[in-house]
Structure 1
Amino acid sequence: MKKTLAVVLSAVMVSGLALSGCGGNSTSATTAAPKESTTAAPAETKKEETKGEAASGEQVTITMSNWLEAEEATSDIFKELLNDFMAANPDIKVESQAIPFNQYKDQVLIAGTSGNAADVIMGNSQMMSAFNGAGILAELDDLASGDVLDDIYPGYLSGTTYGGKVKALSWAPHPIAMYYNKDLFTKAGLDPEKAPATWEEMTEAARAIAKLGKDEAGNTLYGLGIPTGKVAHTGTVFNGIFYTYGGHFVDDSGNVDLNNEGNVEALTWTKQLVDEKVIPAGLEIKDLRGLFASGQIGIIFDGDMGRSAFRSSSGLNEEFDKKMGIAVIPAGKTGRSETVYTEHQLGVFAKSEHKEAAVRLVEYLIGKDAMVKYHKSNAVLSARKSIATLPEMNEDYFMEVFNKQSETASPLPATNAMFDNAMNEVTKAIERIVVNNEDIKTVLEETNKTIKEMYGQ
C-alpha cells in the first residue's frame, strides 16, 4: 500500500525506540580519513562498476548517515571500519554523517524527502519501514551481489524486503532468546543445566520458581519476565508470543488482524500467569532486566545485548555469567522456536548518484572482515549464514545460542510507516487486559479497529 508523505512525517513524531535500546550523545558530522594500507579488497567488495566515476578510476565521495559515530560504545570501531574500507577501496572516500539516535529517524526522513539524504542510510527495522514508505530507498535486487543476498538468512532477508523488492541489507541483527537464573532453577528443584525445551516445560518451570515466594531479603520472586506495559517495545516484542501460539499482527495479505485465535490464546496464557503472580504486571523491559539481574526473576526473554545489561546492573560484571543460563526460545504451539528480532540495516538512497559505490560500502560492512572485527569489538551478530557459523563468531556458548536463534527468528511486521504507533496501541491493549482485567476479545477488536484506521485500511 502506498503511503502519503503526510502519514510518514506524522509517524516520526511519535516513533518508539528500537529493541536494541540504542541511544546516543550529540556530535557533529565527521569525515573518517583514509589510512595508508596495501591491503587488497575482499572479493565481495570488488563488484564490477557498471557506470559512474568509480568505474573510470576517479575517486568519488559518498556519505553515510548513522548513529554509531555519535555513541561512545561504537564510535571508534565504526571509524575503523570506514577507514578499512577506504584503504581497500582508494577510489571511494566516505564521509560520515553522525546523528544522535533520538533525532535520527526524523532527520533522515526530512533529508530524504527533500532529496538530500546520505548515499548509505543506516536504520533499524522500524525506521526502514518509514524510509521505504517515504520512497527514499533504492531497490537492491540488481545492485547487490546475488551471492551476498543468497547468503543472508531468509528471515533476515524477508525483513528488508518490501513489495517483493529488497530495500536494505541486514547488519548486526538482535534476535530475542531466553535467559534463565541457574540459582533459582536449583532452589526450585529444576536442573540448572537443562533449559526448558517446550513452552509447557518453561511455563511449569516459571510456576515452580514463583512458588518459592520471596528471597532472603523479602523480595518477591517471579518465574517469568515478559514486558506487559508502558512503552511501544512491549507491543513490539509481544509479536514473538503471538507467533508462538500461531497468531499474528497482520494476515498474509498485510491487513491488521489482531483478534485471531492465536493472539487470544497468547493473551489468555499471559493473563493467567499474571494473575498467578508468575509474571509481574505492567512492567517494561528495563524494569525486568533489573529484576533479573538482582535474582528476582527466573526466566526472561531478551536480545544478545541483555548480557551486558545484566552484568552491569548486577554489579557482578562477568561473574554474573555463572548464574545465567541461555537457550533458544522454547518451541510452542507451532512446534518451532518462535521469536522476533530487530537489527541494524543498511540501505542506499534512491536518488544517490553513486549507487554502485554505496553498495560496495554496504557489502563491505556486512562482509566477513568487517563483521569479525565488529564482533570482536561489540559482540554483534551477522545475518549471513557463512559468517554466523565462523568459529570467530561463536567463541562461547552464548554466541552459539544466539547464532542458532537466528535460524528461526522472524522479522517484525513493520510493513507500515505507522508501525511504532501501532505497537503503542498493542501495548495499551496488553495493559487493559492484564492490569485492568478487560475482556480479551473486546480489547483486541477495539484495538484492531484503531490500528486499521491508523494504517488506512
Structure 2
Amino acid sequence: MDGVMQWPRRHVLGGMLAAGAVAASGGRLAAQGKKPSGTVTIWVGSWWAPQVPLTQKLWQADYPDVQLAFEPLPINGYLDKFSTAALGGTPPDIIDVDTTWVSTVAAKGLLQPLDDVAAKLDVSDISKAVWNAGRFKGVQYAIPARGGPEVYYYNKTVFDKAGVPYPQAGWTHDDLVAIARKLTIKGEQYGMGVPADLSDPSNVLSFFCPILWYFGGDFLTPDEKAPAINTPEAVKAITYWSDFYVKYGAAPEGTPNFSTTRDLMPLFEANKVGLISSSSNTFDALLQKPNVKWGAVLAPDKINRAGGWTMGVPVGAKNPDGAKLFLAWLARPEIQAQVMNRFPASLKARKLPPWNEPKWQIFVEAEPDARSVPSVAGWFEMQTAILTNLQKVLVKQMTPQQAADASAAEMKRIIADNA
C-alpha cells in the first residue's frame, strides 16, 4: 500500500457523523421492505480490474435490478482520495481498504457499522485475523474479501550461486540471519530484501511484525492503552531487523528507501536478492515470470502477519442497501472463489477451484499462525511514526533504543489525542 493519509480537523467530522446517522437510518428503513435498486459504486485497488467483468456478470445473474460501477484505482494516494471524497460528501458506496487502515478510518467516523451484515454471515468461514482487523471497539466496520498470511520467497539462482541449501519448513530466525549472510556476495547479490520506505507501510510491517512478535515484543500493552514498542524485547527486535542492513550488509544499498513491489521485486527477479517476505500477490506475480527460478516456504518460526483487504460502506453512501447486499453476496464462498484474483478471505472458498490447487496450500498452512496489527484509533498515525523512526536506524540517525523511545513518545501522544 502506498500514500500517506492526511486527515482534516475534527470539527469537520462532526457533520459526517451526523450524516452517518441519517444514512444508517435510511438503511434500516430500506431493510424493512424496500427492494435495493440503482447503482452501487465501488472503489477498489487496481488489481481488481481484470476481475470486474466477471464480477458484474455473476452479480447481474443474481441481482439484475442493481448495477455495479467499479472504479479500480492506483494504490498511491488511494486513501487520501477516499478521505477527501468522504469528507466532501461524495464517497463511493463501498470502499475496499487494507486491513491496517480500518480502525483509523472507523475512528474518524467515515465508515458505517456493518453488524447487520455480519449477523447474516458465517463468521467461522472467514479468516479470523482479517475479520478481527475489520472490527473497532466491538463493532464490525468492514467485511473481508481478500486475506492471506505472509510467506517467504526464495530465489533459487541466488541460493545456487552461493552454494546455500534452500530454506525448509521449520527454519528459525537464527537460520534466517545465517542464510542471509551466506547468500550475500557484495556488489553481486544480497541475502535479504528489507522493505523500509514509508510509501509501503504494509510490506514493511509484513517483515517487521513477525520479528517483533518472535522476540516477545508488541506495539501496545495488552489493554491497548499504552505503547510497548520501547520494551527490551521490542528493542531487540528493532536491532535484529536493522542488522540485516546496518551490521551485516546483507540487504542491498538503497534499502532505507525500498518498497517491495517497486524495488525489491525487480531485484529478486534479476537474481540480485535471495529472500523476500510477502503475501499471495507476490506468488501470483512470480507465476507470470517463467524465467525466475523460485520457491516459497513458511516464515521462520511460522510467525507471520495477516494481510488482507476488507470492504466498508462509507458514511454518506448514496446506496447503502445495495452496498450491503453486495458485501453479503461477495462473502459467499462460491462467489469469492470465482471473482477474487488474490487469496480469498473465505476459508471455504480456499477449498474450491482455483484456490484448492496444491500450489496455494502453503497459505492454508500459514493461516493458523497469522496475526494482525492492533485495531485501535490512530493506528495509521502510529505505524507511520514507528516506520519513520525505524528508517532513521537504517541511516544511522538513531540507535534502536532511541528509535523505540521516540516511537513510544509519539504513540503516547496519538493515544491521548484519540482518547
1:450 aligns with 2:418: no
- Give the whole-Å Cα distance in 1 for the aligned partners of 2:29 and 2:199: 47
- Give the whole-Å Cα distance in 2 for the aligned partners of 1:65 and 1:104: 13
The change in CA–CA distance for 1:114 and 1:149 in structure 2 (over 3 A counts) is: farther
The change in CA–CA distance for 1:145 and 1:89 in structure 2 (over 3 A counts) is: farther
1:388 aligns with 2:364: no
Give, in angstroms, the shift of residue 8 of structure 1. Answer: 10
Q: Contact 2:101 / 2:379 at 8 angstroms: preserved in 1? A: no
The change in CA–CA distance for 1:240 and 1:7 in structure 2 (over 3 A counts) is: farther
Give, in angstroms, the shift of residue 115 of structure 1. Answer: 4.9
State the identity %. Answer: 19
- Give the whole-Å Cα distance in 1 for the aligned partners of 2:195 and 2:140: 32
Aligned residues: 390
- Give the whole-Å Cα distance in 1 for the aligned partners of 2:104 and 2:265: 29
Q: Which of 412, 416, 422 pairs up with 2:377?
A: 416
Runs of 4+ in structure 1 off by over 6 angstroms are none
| Paired position in structure 2 for 1:131 | 105
Equivalent runs, 1:114-129 vs 2, <5 Å: 115-129=89-103
Q: Which of 59, 65, 82 pairs up with 2:56?
A: 82
Q: Which of 200, 212, 217 pairs up with 2:174?
A: 200
| Paired position in structure 1 for 2:191 | 223
| Paired position in structure 1 for 2:40 | 63
Amino acid at match of 1:392: P
- Give the whole-Å Cα distance in 1 for the aligned partners of 2:36 and 2:403: 58
Q: Contact 1:8 / 1:134 at 8 angstroms: preserved in 2? A: no
Amino acid at match of 2:372: P
Give, in angstroms, the shift of residue 433 of structure 1. Answer: 2.1
1:143 aligns with 2:117: yes
Q: Which moved more, 1:136-145 or 1:173-182?
A: 136-145
1:279 aligns with 2:251: yes
Question: What is the DSSP-based 3-state SS (H/G/I as helix, E as strand, rest coil) of the residue aligned with 1:175?
Answer: coil
| Paired position in structure 2 for 1:27 | none
The change in CA–CA distance for 1:113 and 1:436 in structure 2 (over 3 A counts) is: same
Give, in angstroms, the shift of residue 429 of structure 1. Answer: 1.8
- Give the whole-Å Cα distance in 2 for the aligned partners of 1:175 and 1:160: 16
| Paired position in structure 1 for 2:267 | 291
Q: Which of 229, 238, 250 pairs up with 2:220?
A: 250
Structure 2 residue runs of 5 or longer lacking an equivalent are: 1-6, 14-26
* CA RMSD, 1 decimal: 3.2
Question: What is the DSSP-based 3-state SS (H/G/I as helix, E as strand, rest coil) of the residue aligned with 1:52?
Answer: helix
Amino acid at match of 2:332: G
| Paired position in structure 2 for 1:44 | none
| Paired position in structure 2 for 1:343 | 308
Amino acid at match of 2:179: A
- Give the whole-Å Cα distance in 1 for the aligned partners of 2:313 and 2:371: 23
Q: 1:252-285 CA deviation, whole Å, 9 max, x = no partner? A: 2223321022221112223433312223352522
Question: What is the DSSP-based 3-state SS (H/G/I as helix, E as strand, rest coil) of the residue aligned with 2:307?
Answer: strand
- Give the whole-Å Cα distance in 2 for the aligned partners of 1:253 and 1:300: 33
Give, in angstroms, the shift of residue 436 of structure 1. Answer: 0.8
Give, in angstroms, the shift of residue 357 of structure 1. Answer: 3.8
Q: Contact 1:171 / 1:366 at 8 angstroms: preserved in 2? A: yes
Equivalent runs, 1:156-167 vs 2, <5 Å: 156-167=130-141
1:306 aligns with 2:282: yes
The change in CA–CA distance for 1:279 and 1:110 in structure 2 (over 3 A counts) is: closer
- Give the whole-Å Cα distance in 1 for the aligned partners of 2:377 and 2:396: 29
- Give the whole-Å Cα distance in 1 for the aligned partners of 2:190 and 2:377: 36
Give, in angstroms, the shift of residue 298 of structure 1. Answer: 1.9
- Give the whole-Å Cα distance in 1 for the aligned partners of 2:377 and 2:272: 37
The change in CA–CA distance for 1:358 and 1:243 in structure 2 (over 3 A counts) is: same
| Paired position in structure 2 for 1:43 | none
TM-score by length of 2: 0.81
Give, in angstroms, the shift of residue 187 of structure 1. Answer: 4.3
- Give the whole-Å Cα distance in 2 for the aligned partners of 1:192 and 1:103: 38
Q: 1:183-217 CA deviation, whole Å, 9 max, x = no partner? A: 3334444433735522222222222222xx25xxx
Give, in angstroms, the shift of residue 145 of structure 1. Answer: 4.2
Give, in angstroms, the shift of residue 294 of structure 1. Answer: 1.6
| Paired position in structure 1 for 2:239 | 268
1:429 aligns with 2:397: no
| Paired position in structure 2 for 1:112 | 86
Q: Contact 1:54 / 1:60 at 8 angstroms: preserved in 2? A: no
Amino acid at match of 1:326: A
Amino acid at match of 1:226: V
| Paired position in structure 1 for 2:21 | none
Amino acid at match of 2:300: P
- Give the whole-Å Cα distance in 1 for the aligned partners of 2:73 and 2:403: 39
TM-score by length of 1: 0.75
